[in-house]
Amino acid sequence: MLQTIRKSNLILGTLMLTLAGVLTRIIGFFYRIFLSRQIGEEGMGIYQLLSPLMALSFSFTCAGIQTSLSKHVAACEAENRHQKSILTLFCAFFISVLLSLFAGLLLCRFRIYISVAFLSEERCQNLITIYALSLPFCAIHSCINGYYFGLRKTTVPSVTQLIEQLVRVCSVIVLFFLFPDTGFEKKIAFAVLGLILGEIASSMTSLFVLRPVLNGSANKSVDFGGYNRALCSLLSLAAPLSLNRIILNALQSIEAAYLPRKLTEYGYAPSEALSVYGVFMGMALPMILFPQAVTSSVSVLLLPYVSEAEAKKDRKKISHSIFLTTTFCVLLGFACLVFFYLTGPLIGTMIFHSEDAGLFIRTLSFMCPFLYLGTLLTSILNGLGKATLSFLIHISSISIRLLGIFIMVPVFGIKAYLYFLMLGQILYCVLNFVALKKYLYYNDSRCFRNLNGYKKKSHKYTNQRKEQ
């Protein structure tokens, strides 16, 4: 009965997150169309240059802590240790907010160097300063989401996700409406300002919902020893996860920063290179990633689900979950492959008014099955405590893409990057699948051997009793 309830909670939670994710991406989809028409292809390129920096900042301040918090809260609640999960949440708040303030100060202090030396775009200076202000709010929002993911209560993350996107989009549209004749750079600044307003709205909503939990824990005595234990428990997973994600996002930042540079070596003018980059990163790739709202929802909720099953040594539950979710992701991936291949050029010209976007979408369509499945398999490996292995697999994938950027793009242009991106994603998916298969086979075989050994000992003991 309890297993049925948990399974239904997983399905219901997945549906809620999926619905929120789909609505968020639909809103974001129309927002990107609006934004691309307001700031153009070059503006989209400048705006997208901030994406790797955002990902790197999130990895340093929130990502590892959120995942670790979700995993530990799930384990605590499975053992009915509610107070420990609250203590872990407080520790996550403290670390994440502190790191976000530190990261924000670093970004503001070195914004000139980052924009000129790393991003090769001076116009990013003010954008970096604006973005830095959003980090503390992002930290609060992420920690609360991680707590509720661990509880497998997806209502709060779903609602705050929608609120964040709605406030971001609506605020930017209002700014463009109030200041229609503003300059090119200020228009891009409006888009970044929308990020801050969205994070403020989502973090305030999260804190409001969490208030009863915080008030209830405030009436209880503070156990500093419990805080220390919760902190150590949280950091034991958060530290390696954060380090892994920082390294990965640093490599991805190099990837994003050097792609426009290598396009100029191929023969594009700097503004043309930014335009091509903007079409690819701001139009084509988000379209391919759109269905990932479904697989991402499954992945987020599957991590604590698998972690709990792993803690209880329930291999059957793990295998069954993997089979169902991977089958679903593969079917979704092939359906999207067919759809994007057939409609890619039409989407590019009708929606984005860009033939290049259509060609990029058609080419990237072959990546869909591997992209959606790879995300899921990574989450499963992390849930099984194989974060290091997942990290090494990710490194190999990014290395393939970097090889394409530095060697092939200057010779063959953006098409070379598209092909190497697909090759890296295929490698990523295959290695994840092989690692997961070997892990489950090894553990199942070990359990079988232990069971046989137990049966032999039991049989031997029974025979001895009979002889006596």
* Per-residue pLDDT reduced to its tens digit, 11-64: 665 667 667 777 887 888 788 888 888 888 888 888 888 888 888 888 888 878
Place of tokens 């996860």: 241
Report the half-sphere exposure of 195 (CA within 13 A, side-chain side).
19
Burial class of 81 by CB neighbour count within 10 A (0 to 12, 13 to 18, 19+) = middle
What whole-number distance in Å separates Cα of residue 37 and Cα of residue 170?
16
- Both tokens assigned to 445: 């075989």
Nearest in space to 424 (alpha carbons), one of 379, 347, 366: 366
Question: What number of residues does the chain have?
Answer: 468
Backbone angles phi, psi at 268, to 5 degrees: -75, 150
Which positions ≥6 away from 330 have C-beta within 8 Å? 369, 372, 373
444 half-sphere exposure, CB direction, 13 A CA radius = 11
Give me the chain's average pLDDT, please.
81
Q: What six digits make up the tokens of 372?
A: 């959606």
- Looking at 39-53, 97-111, 286-300, 378-392, which range is the least confident one? 286-300
Over the stretch 304-345, which tens digit does the pLDDT of each residue have? 666 666 666 666 777 777 777 788 888 888 999 999 999 999
Q: Is residue 134's pLDDT more than 60? A: yes
For 425-461, give one letter per residue: b (16+ CB within 10 A) or e.
Answer: bbbbbebbeebbeebbeeeeeeeeeeeeeeeeeeeee
Which pair of structure tokens corresponds to residue 327? 């089958």
d(CA 260, CA 354): 18
How sure is the predictor about 4, in pLDDT bands with cuts at 50, 70 and 90?
Answer: very low
- Number of Cβ within a 10 Å radius of residue 51: 14
The answer to whether the beta carbons of residues 317 and 380 sit under 8 Å apart is no
Count CB-CB contacts under 10 A for residue 25.
22
Q: How far is CA 445 from CA 383, 436, 442, 449, 452, in A?
A: 20, 14, 5, 6, 11
188-236 pLDDT per residue, tens = 999 999 999 999 999 999 999 888 877 766 555 555 556 677 777 788 7
- Confirm if 287 and 360 have CB atoms less than 8 A apart: no
**C-beta separation of 160 from 205 below 8 A:** yes
Burial of 253 (0-12, 13-18, 19+ CB in 10 A): buried
What contacts 459, CB < 8 A, 6 or more positions away?
none
| C-alpha Rg value of the chain to the nearest Å | 24
Residue 10: predicted pLDDT: 55
Q: How far is CA 465 from the centre of its chain?
A: 59
Measured between alpha carbons, how far is residue 203 from residues 89, 163, 208, 388 in Å? 15, 10, 9, 31
What is the model's pLDDT at position 340?
A: 94
| CB-CB contact of 415 with 408 (8 Å) | no
pTM metric for this prediction: 0.72
Separation between Cα atoms, residue 451 and residue 445, nearest integer Å: 10
In this predicted structure, the answer to whether residue 450 has a pLDDT above a threshold of 80 is no
